[in-house]
Structure 1
């Protein structure tokens, strides 16, 4: 639906929930190319995928429903890579989308606001490369590089 809107309307910005996260990068297929072609930026919401990227337990939710075992297993594998680099899973989930040039901002919910200090966590480049090497991120997904720099207009690397 968002891709059709971007192609047919003169939009500066769209809000995308849950489709550009550590678990799901499906927006790269159609939406992001359309946004690039039409000059539309994206605000990403749902970066914790209903909480599974805060706590990938068997009781976790994904897409507002109980997560199936395969999704829980993938989230746990991502968490294991984060743990090897001493990086909180939530910090990686929050910072990951900001590497994509179409992303203008990340929106987080107020219901269970994670510590905003997660934006200040220094994430080593090796973590992102390990996620790729373990098949947890596709090779064509932009990955963060260097420290996060927050400006009034955007958080960038």
Structure 2
């Protein structure tokens, strides 16, 4: 097959995932195109979706959340910026990507993500609100309303990168 022909191989994410399936990230500092997501719980076993496959896909969504450890990391390339999963999802068509920049606590991050999803579902994207606004509101709620989540260790690792910003 020539490099100009589209691949006839179906996306590995077309394989159904079992309820409760989990994903983790894998980062390769020297070769960011080999960074990816590992989905456990597929009916066909683990699925690996690397940054190049993400970038080649069509993801038309307002928000992608990668709430595993270090999902916002990548390698800096002069003239290109940070190369990693965030960039791949934005190229694929996601309007915003929420990632973490260091190891995170599982239970506390899951609780914080609930706040973030509540805030994201309440914003009006077409009227100037952004996913970053929702993240900020969730962070403020965590500090103000939840003694367990008030510590920066529970929410400060997360950032939103938006297309065109």
Superposition TM-score, scaled by structure 2 size: 0.25
Greater C-alpha Rg: 2
The answer to which structure, 1 or 2, has the higher relative contact order (CA under 8 A, 6+ apart) is: 1
Indicate the structure with greater helix content: 1
Determine which structure has the larger strand proportion and give its number: 2
